[in-house]
Structure 1
């Protein structure tokens, strides 16, 4: 709770600072229209945006403001806004709409993993009442996951918005829709806030995670509504000190840690706190998923104050996770050590009979698991539900269904 009080105070102060600095007539302001952007939704405005960014990033006067004006629709081809910049903060204000090319052919001979990216920018603030539309349907239609027999199908598609090594930054108030793949990726970031954003993509859109975090520390994700075709929020490897609070999730695959350890690598994930989330119609609720071939650890994780409405797998730990038949043979020694996981104050309804499923490794059991004040029942009145635990050790207190944990 202390963490979120601190976050609220920081957010309040920073929001006041942003408002004051945006209205400061002495600050440096850069509109993409002044650099030749057309904003008709058909003309490629990428170079105009890059030219605007170049001058804003080079400015050392106050907190430079780059503005994407309202009532315009700007088409951007794959683009990277690079730092470091000369000012301690730089603001990227989106009031209009930014759209991606419809055709995947635009990415030929380019990096297909990203559309818009910010790299090596400290103190970046991206915010506004505008929208970012990834127009991803053509990518979904050639996804190998959904169309495995399609000649030329693709596993890779662009992430709509990447933040690469962007420290002490934020993303707020933006609407994001229809990304070809993940909507937001934080990679190599230290001290980054995501607040009050909306993410909207169809529930059957492939691999369209809402927010994915990788190799990052001190990340705050708050007050956001996420609906997608994959995890609403997922926590990847080499990540610690993540605080997720007040999230609406659905449709989607829930809030997940993982998958981790797919390549047999050493996993390092710790100090993850998820609280005050409402999940509806998702395929999973609170989930940790690791590959048996992985090594390393996941520790000190709290899922608390969660409410589930018609969720398929409300509480799940899967140390045998696999989405490829070729990689699923190793169920012997090894495994990621999962310990110190708390599921507390979790209520709601399940579409399946097994509401708690802790499928832990025989060679590397889950330890110090706590189930506290958990009440899950079937979405169909009168149907019985069960808890299933394999190689999971810990303690339970006021849990239904239960018990299933082995004594520590």
Structure 2
């Protein structure tokens, strides 16, 4: 063999490394949506995780697969493990199926590096029965549910992705990214009815270097919510609505110390949402929310297009005044425009003890969704600068 042929062989091998595939049908899955296929998924994942190869792929082919709560755990031997969903995965519609199990989760991945969940399929949490017994909407119902399953949990996953997938009707949050680093979400569609309780689209907590891009999210709660101990979050090209908007928080409940920084939310559209660009913190908390950018956002009939609430309370008027709070500073609002469905289009409700500072507003134009009506700006205990802002002036005091 010539040296050239040998080198070409090395290049070809580097490009076409073998991929071991594990089809759940080969492990006994029925694909009819009436029999529990959980064990077939567990066995396929087990073999994909332990195989000695660079890449492994679990395949969920066309068909309908009924799954009970599952945990897919690592670490795994392959440097990249793919979970390809081509069919439909459904949860049991009965909350009784979670009796004796962790009622906070349905499908979870834990301690996996190089995980890629994707496909043209559908994942349906069948949350309707959970919503019917939610304490949020039925507080007087005996045995009402405070905690319901999340469709996808990614726990302590590194350099991983979720992409090209359709996720619907979660009993509670649709996607949770927890204690993870280097996680990308791209081209996902998440949908639940507008009045479904606590159905956040994507929630990020204790995670770093997360990107969420090119996605359509409409739910009964935040399209995307950012929790505590998060940093370097980049959210772009999102279509949000219905829902509560894109929110940082709530943070600092029960006097917790907060650290959220370097968050950028840009190039997105929000339609018919309760909030637009929101930061919310509880009184009594400590720590910082800083280096936040909201840029190039379009609002269509949004009730609170720009809002900071440093006095957040789950039941308005019931939380006592505290002399400590989470410090909010270095927040930029740039190139934001559209319509407000409330009179107050800009509302910065900051703490008199820990005021918001270094707030920058530039090139903002918000008008009423009702032609002829006027909107206003209300800024309390907030300091900053503004250029080209309508309505203004926010920082006149």
2:84 & 2:353 partners in 1: Cα distance? 51
Corresponding position of 1:34: 26
1:205-248 CA-partner distances (Å, limit 9, x unpaired): 00000000000000000000000000000000000000000000
Matched, 1:69 2:69: no
2:140 & 2:296 partners in 1: Cα distance? 42
What pairs up with 1:127-276 in 2 under 5 angstroms? 127-276=118-267
Matched, 1:372 2:353: no
SS across alignment from 2:40:
helix
Structure 1 unaligned spans of 5+: 1-19
Corresponding position of 1:14: none
Deviation for aligned residue 1:250: 0.3
1:338 aligned to 321, 324, 328, which one? 328
1:355 and 1:376 in contact (8 A); partners too: yes
Deviation for aligned residue 1:332: 2.8
Corresponding position of 1:47: 39
Deviation for aligned residue 1:170: 0.2
What pairs up with 1:74-89 in 2 under 5 angstroms? 74-89=65-80
Corresponding position of 2:372: 382
1:147 & 1:406 partners in 2: Cα distance? 44
Q: How many residues align?
A: 385
2:87 and 2:122 in contact (8 A); partners too: yes
1:129-152 CA-partner distances (Å, limit 9, x unpaired): 011000000000010111111111
1:111 & 1:309 partners in 2: Cα distance? 39
Deviation for aligned residue 1:155: 1.1
Corresponding position of 2:49: 57
Higher strand residue share: 2
Corresponding position of 2:394: 404
SS across alignment from 2:190:
strand
Structure 2 unaligned spans of 5+: 1-11
**TM-score, length basis structure 1:** 0.92
1:27 & 1:313 partners in 2: Cα distance? 49
Deviation for aligned residue 1:277: 0.6
Matched, 1:106 2:97: yes
1:141-170 CA-partner distances (Å, limit 9, x unpaired): 010111111111111101110000000000
1:393 and 1:406 in contact (8 A); partners too: no
The runs of at least 4 aligned residues of structure 1 exceeding 2 Å deviation read: 23-26, 324-327
2:29 and 2:40 in contact (8 A); partners too: yes
1:392 and 1:406 in contact (8 A); partners too: no
2:107 and 2:152 in contact (8 A); partners too: yes
1:211 & 1:253 partners in 2: Cα distance? 12
1:256 and 1:287 in contact (8 A); partners too: yes
SS across alignment from 1:34:
helix
1:391 and 1:406 in contact (8 A); partners too: no
Matched, 1:295 2:281: no
Deviation for aligned residue 1:86: 0.5
Q: Report the CA distance shift for 1:131/1:261 in structure 2 as closer, same or farther (over 3 A).
A: same
2:233 and 2:264 in contact (8 A); partners too: yes
1:263 & 1:244 partners in 2: Cα distance? 28
Structure 1 or 2, whichever has the larger Rg, is 2
2:131 and 2:196 in contact (8 A); partners too: yes
